[in-house]
Amino acid sequence: MDVDVHLRDMARAGVPVTAIAADYPHGHVIAPHSHAYSQLLYAIEGVMCIDAQGGRWVVPPTRGVWLEAGIAHQVRMSGDVKMRTVFVAADAGAQLPQGSCVLGIPPLLRELILAAIDLPPGDGPASRAGCLRQLLLHELRALPVLPLHLPLPSDPRLRAVCERLIEAPDDGRTVDAWAGGAGMSARTLHRLFQQQTGMRFGYWRQQVRLLAALERLARGDKVVDVALDHGYQSQSAFAAMFRRHFGMPPTLFYR
């Protein structure tokens, strides 16, 4: 179903939340666009790479990205993607996520999202459909925010450094080398980077490698190849970092 048609039906029925399913092949790109509704982008298979105002998110199947209403965003598919999108009306209530962010998707919410896709639009709040929608909203309010966001600085010199690292996450140049190439001292680079992204430069670079690795793993690449291609000295070093972020080794993540 066309998304705009689906959202018009949602508005006509006066329901606070709805869900829609769409499948995309590897490499497909949804051009920049925005919606009048907040949305949770979630994929039961594959990885979504989302570029929006303020940064980039890489979203594996155990995660979803919450986008505020009106935020322009582009979505690129890594691996074949089965996307399940939840749209939430502005008057759906308080305590929903503030600002665009990555959220953990527990099993209950996953099943609620899948069930919401087939709900009739016009059933009242006391019906089964209405109760499922309210439970879905309650679960959205309870989700933890996760560190899979890659904020981008506004300073053009720092932005150039970031774009280079996104293109080549295995680039092992030191902070002094990056700062010199940007025409500033390492101290200035650290200060500006923290001010404009809220992250230390070293942590941001680790995030670049992690998010790029997620894309490769989604395509089925070997863990050892992913580790070495993203600047890690060994598969075990990469696996240790991965476990710190996700609580499991990369070999189990996409199962």
Q: What is the pLDDT of residue 1?
A: 52
* Same domain as 24, residue 72: yes
Number of Cβ within a 10 Å radius of residue 34: 15
How much is the pTM?
Answer: 0.69
Helical (H) or strand (E) element with 19: strand 17-24
* Same domain as 166, residue 215: yes
Q: Which of 126, 146, 166 finishes a domain?
A: 146
* Same domain as 113, residue 21: yes
* Same domain as 197, residue 110: no
Cα(219)–Cα(234) distance, rounded to whole angstroms? Answer: 20
Tally of structural domains, the chain: 2
Q: What is the pLDDT of residue 111?
A: 93
* Same domain as 142, residue 40: yes
Residue with tokens 């080398």: 177
CATH of the domain at 14: 2.60.120.280
CATH of the domain at 225: 1.10.10.60
Closest by Cα among 106, 21, 95 to 64: 106
Q: What is the pLDDT of residue 122?
A: 66
Helical (H) or strand (E) element with 251: helix 250-253
Per-residue pLDDT of 33-60, as tens digits, reads: 988 888 999 998 888 889 887 678 888 8
Q: What is the pLDDT of residue 23?
A: 94
Which of the 8 DSSP states describes residue 83? Answer: E
The partner residues of 65 in beta bridges, in order of sequence, read 41, 102
Q: Which of 97, 128, 146 finishes a domain?
A: 146
Q: What is the pLDDT of residue 147?
A: 65
* Same domain as 161, residue 131: no
Q: What is the pLDDT of residue 199?
A: 86
| Pair of tokens at residue 93 | 């209530």
Per-residue pLDDT of 173-214, as tens digits, reads: 899 999 999 999 999 999 999 999 888 999 898 888 888 887
Domain that holds residue 75: 3-146
* Same domain as 123, residue 170: no
Low pLDDT (below 50) residues in the chain: none
* Same domain as 163, residue 134: no
Closest by Cα among 58, 121, 119, 48 to 79: 48
* Same domain as 94, residue 176: no
Helical (H) or strand (E) element with 119: none
* Same domain as 189, residue 139: no
| Pair of tokens at residue 137 | 């909203």
* Same domain as 139, residue 210: no
* Same domain as 111, residue 55: yes
Which of the 8 DSSP states describes residue 154? Answer: S
Q: Which of 107, 123, 146 finishes a domain?
A: 146
| Pair of tokens at residue 190 | 């650290």
